[in-house]
């Protein structure tokens, strides 16, 4: 009898509610796009993703992507600087929200 496979973050989040979405996230987004290292490293992908989420105002998604960025080699200072930089392009309110969330996440890491 085989060991039960650990669920992916999306499987834990969605369960059986949206299985096609979970499958696309796991197999295409993280299984293919994030796995590509020929042009961008995981660290670079995390930096691009974090700043894109701030720019789009999708601050809640940073709960997953800031820790992932740290795991992929970004430093807290690099994340703070990237958010500060995009504030001038994305707007001050999303940057404030992102930095507030980052501060909470970083305090949990300590």
Q: What is the pLDDT of residues 26-52, one digit of tens each?
A: 999 999 999 998 999 999 999 999 999
What is the pLDDT, as a whole number, of residue 27?
Answer: 94
Total domains in the chain come to 2
In a domain, 66, yes or no: yes
Distance CA 83, CA 96 (A): 9
Query: Which sign does the torsion angle of CA 72, 76, 80, 85 carry?
Result: negative
54 and 29 both lie in a single domain: no
Tens-digit pLDDT profile for residues 12-31: 989 899 999 999 999 999 99
Q: How far is CA 32 from CA 12, 21, 23, 38, in A?
A: 20, 15, 12, 12
In a domain, 61, yes or no: yes
35 and 49 both lie in a single domain: no
How far is the first Cα of the chain from the last one, in angstroms, to the nearest whole number? 40
In a domain, 4, yes or no: no
In a domain, 3, yes or no: no
Q: What is the mean pLDDT of the chain?
A: 93
pTM: 0.87
Which residues constitute the domain of residue 20? 10-39
């Amino acid at each position: 009898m085989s060991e039960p496979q650990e669920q992916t973050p999306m499987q834990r989040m969605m369960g059986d509610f949206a299985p096609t979405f979970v499958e696309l996230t796991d197999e295409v987004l993280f299984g293919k796009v994030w796995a590509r290292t020929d042009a961008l490293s995981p660290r670079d992908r995390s930096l691009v993703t974090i700043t894109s989420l701030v720019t789009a105002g999708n601050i809640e998604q940073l709960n997953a992507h800031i820790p992932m960025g740290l795991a992929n080699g970004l430093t807290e200072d690099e994340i703070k600087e990237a958010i500060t930089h995009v504030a001038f392009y994305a707007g001050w309110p999303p940057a404030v929200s992102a930095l507030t969330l980052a501060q909470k996440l970083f305090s949990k890491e300590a």
